[in-house]
Amino acid sequence: MASAFPAFLRATLGAWLATAALGIALPATAQQPLQDPPGRIARLNAREGAVSFSPAGEDRWYDVVPNRPLTDGDRLWIDRDARAEVFVGSAAVRADARTSLEFTRIDDAVVQLTLSQGSLDLRLRDDLDGERFEVDTGNLALVVTAPGAYRIDADPSTGTTRVAVAAGSATVYGENGASIPVGERQQITVSGRDLAAAEVQMPAGAAAFDRWVGERDRIEERSIAARHVSREVVGYQQLDAYGDWRSDADYGSVWYPRNVATDWAPYRDGQWIDVAPWGWTWIDAAPWGFAPSHYGRWARFGPRWGWVPGRRDARPVFAPALVGFVGAPGPLPAGRNGVGWFPLAPGERWQPGYRASQRYVEQVNRATIRIGRTARIDGLYANQRLVEAVTIVPSERFGRGPIDRREVLRQHGDVISRAPVAFAPPLTLAATVASGAQGVPVGPALGALQARPAAAVPPPLLQPRAQIVQLAPIGPVQPRPQLSPAEGPALQQRQQQLQQIDQRREEQQQILRRQRSQQQERQDDERREAAQRERQRQDLRRQQEDRVEAARDQQERERRRDDERRQAEQRQAQRDQDRRQQAQRIERDRQEQERQTQYRQEQQRQLVQQQQRQAQQEQQQLASQLRAQEQQLQQQRQHDRQQQQQQQAARLQDLQQAQERATQQRQMQQQHQQNQQFERRQGERRDEQRQNQQMRDEQRRDEQRRQQRP
């Protein structure tokens, strides 16, 4: 065994075994019940404008870090002209400008939010099934009792809270256990903690914030990812714009990210931070990286990575990172060690690196059972065998801010596949440098959140004040012992000492009373100053509201244009997706046509060969038939030539006879024409003679008439 693993790998394995032994021994000695972390968290899903974030237990504010889970004690400040959308499981929590929101408690049974100032809109889709959803303000607590739409407006300056129920039902609790039910299409306004003066009214008309909420609801309703994953999967809304869904025979629905680098792998672009109560939690840098990092599994499909969300009917449970850790399988520069990790594949069991019950482990892994394929081969993890799936960084860089691609190290695949796998990073190695190595600056604190200080912070009245130390009061003064007159000078001296002690105690009590009085005065001064500042802010706010109203309208128009642009982009993305799907269908049809064409060509080739053989036989038969037919044709041609010659001779004779008849006819016609001409000339001569005779007769008659005149 010693020869199978190098020395640095044995050291890594030894550190892990020691940590595991310590983790196993502690529960046995403590004998305490396991406290499972919550399976439900919150996430900032969308924002417009400046949104600031304050982690639990801190007073400082930072620019919000995308994809950081929000849990107990975390706070958000939505600055002026800003809006934010947070999802707690399938519940949508949308905040308007100038809203201070704290996530007081988030677990599988209770969601408790604290609204110090501003406006919230709640949209609950699913039945509560015994769960509790509560929103606390400065003067009341709202407990939702049914799915629906709720609006809460809190004004700390007047101590007023307004609750409007568009759909569903809720109960408002005030001081001394007083409560008022609020039904659908009802509104209640409470001033102070006494519910006796509360008024139940019809809700007011829609404002710009309500229109924005309605648009966000419509976007959520049109989500394609909701057809493939449960709406309890936090962060599924970003999957539509950054990837495509495909159906796999073994895995069911699979999501493929678009526009990723060729050397990209899951859990490579982002950072590791320490988030209570889970510990090491992966914060992905991609806008879509939340859901695929904390739910489901990753599988390799050829050259691409695909996210397998698993069963849609199982309730998802949040996990900090679904990876397996390996020690660096080789020495790094300057003698340092490394930490590596890889994504778990579908069907591979994830074990938390923190103490948890077996029931919790089963719930986390319930939705990722494979349908057809084998999860592990030869006892190895599927993605551990892939060099491109394992991300390795130097130990001193782990948990100290975003990972730089230039810091990712490459190691041989055979050595990686033989490295031991754990479900928590080796902290002893991640925080130190190997023996004999030169010192390396560690930079930020291990596991600390790397974020910029926020420029937008809540008003001072909403900031947590520094706690004033209360001095514990001195206990009651013990009575002095009564001295008898005969006890002498020593006892008198003792009595004087006791009197001095009493005086010092009285002086100390006076000092304490003065300190308390000064503290009370300081508190009163602070309250007066805060009230004065609040009045000044209100005056300034009233002055600014008039100026801001026009800007709000302009921003509303710009928002509508942005919404239209986003809708157009979504429609374009849908059209692109449809075109890609159509192209894929065309490609599949083309491939199917090619296969059918090849099959038809093969059938045609065989048919042609058979036809060629038949044609050869037929040609041989035809050749003999043609020879016989040719002989017959020759004989027929000779007979035809003879007949033609005879016919030509007969035609020639007929032609000669016809010519003779034509000649005779021409001669007869000529003779007839000559006779006609002769007769015509004879007639003309007779006519001429007749005319001459008539003229002579006329002359004789004229001569006779002249002679008869006297």
How far is the C-alpha of 508 from the C-alpha of 510, rounded, in Å? 5
How far is the C-alpha of 328 from the C-alpha of 340, rounded, in Å? 6
Tell me which residues of the chain have a pLDDT lower than 70.
Answer: 1-34, 196-197, 199-206, 328-336, 369-379, 412-415, 427-452, 454-456, 459-498, 546, 710
Is the four-CA dihedral 511, 514, 516, 518 of positive or negative sign? negative
Tokens of 16: 């892990």
Residue 433 confidence (pLDDT): 35
Q: What is the pairing mode between strands 110-124 and 132-136?
A: parallel
How far is the C-alpha of 327 from the C-alpha of 421, rounded, in Å? 8
Residue 15 confidence (pLDDT): 45
Given a contact cutoff of 8 angstroms between Cβ atoms, the answer to whether 408 and 393 are in contact is yes
Q: Is 397 exposed, middle or buried (0-12, 13-18, 19+ CB in 10 A)?
A: buried
Phi, then psi, of 476 in degrees rounded to 5: -60, 145
In one letter, which amino acid is 506?
E
Given a contact cutoff of 8 angstroms between Cβ atoms, the answer to whether 75 and 54 are in contact is yes
For residue 174, give the 3-state DSSP assignment.
Answer: coil
Within 222-366, where are the H helices? 239-242, 290-294, 358-365
Given a contact cutoff of 8 angstroms between Cβ atoms, the answer to whether 168 and 146 are in contact is yes
Phi, then psi, of 327 in degrees rounded to 5: -75, 160
CA 420 from centre of chain: 34
How far is the C-alpha of 642 from the C-alpha of 112, rounded, in Å? 122
How far is the C-alpha of 325 from the C-alpha of 391, rounded, in Å? 10
Q: Buried b / exposed e across 568-606, counting CB within 10 Å, b at 16+?
A: eeeeebeeebeeeeeeeeeeeeeeeeeeeeeeeeeeeee
User: How is the chain split among helix, strand and coil, in percent rounded to 5?
Assistant: 45, 20, 35
The architecture of the domain spanning 42-220 is Sandwich (2.60)
Peptide bond preceding 331 in cis form (omega within 30 of 0): no
Domain ranges of the chain: 7-33+235-430, 42-220
Q: What is the pairing mode between strands 323-327 and 42-48?
A: unpaired
Tokens of 120: 């919230």
List residues bridging with 280 in a β-sheet: 274
Answer yes or no: pTM beyond 0.85.
Answer: no
Given a contact cutoff of 8 angstroms between Cβ atoms, the answer to whether 293 and 284 are in contact is yes
Given a contact cutoff of 8 angstroms between Cβ atoms, the answer to whether 325 and 340 are in contact is yes
Tokens of 682: 């004879």
Sequential DSSP letters for 490-545: HHHHHHHHHHHHHHHHHHHHHHHHHHHHHHHHHHHHHHHHHHHHHHHHHHHHHHHH
Residue 153 confidence (pLDDT): 94
Given a contact cutoff of 8 angstroms between Cβ atoms, the answer to whether 136 and 188 are in contact is no
Tokens of 650: 């007969």
Given a contact cutoff of 8 angstroms between Cβ atoms, the answer to whether 309 and 228 are in contact is yes
Q: Would you tell me the crossing angle of helices 208-221 and 488-708 to the nearest 10 degrees?
A: 70
For residue 448, give the 3-state DSSP assignment.
Answer: coil
* Residues 576/578/579/583 CA torsion (nearest 10 deg): 140
Residue 470: CB atoms within 10 Å = 9
Phi, then psi, of 8 in degrees rounded to 5: -65, -30
In one letter, which amino acid is 379?
G
Tokens of 506: 């009285």
In one letter, which amino acid is 420?
P
- CB half-sphere exposure, 99, CA atoms < 13 A: 30
Phi, then psi, of 281 in degrees rounded to 5: -130, 135
How far is the C-alpha of 489 from the C-alpha of 495, rounded, in Å? 10
Residue 445 confidence (pLDDT): 57
Given a contact cutoff of 8 angstroms between Cβ atoms, the answer to whether 97 and 81 are in contact is yes
Residues whose CB is less than 8 angstroms from the CB of residue 399 and which lie 6 or more positions away in sequence, other chains included = 271, 272, 273, 274, 280, 425, 430, 446, 447
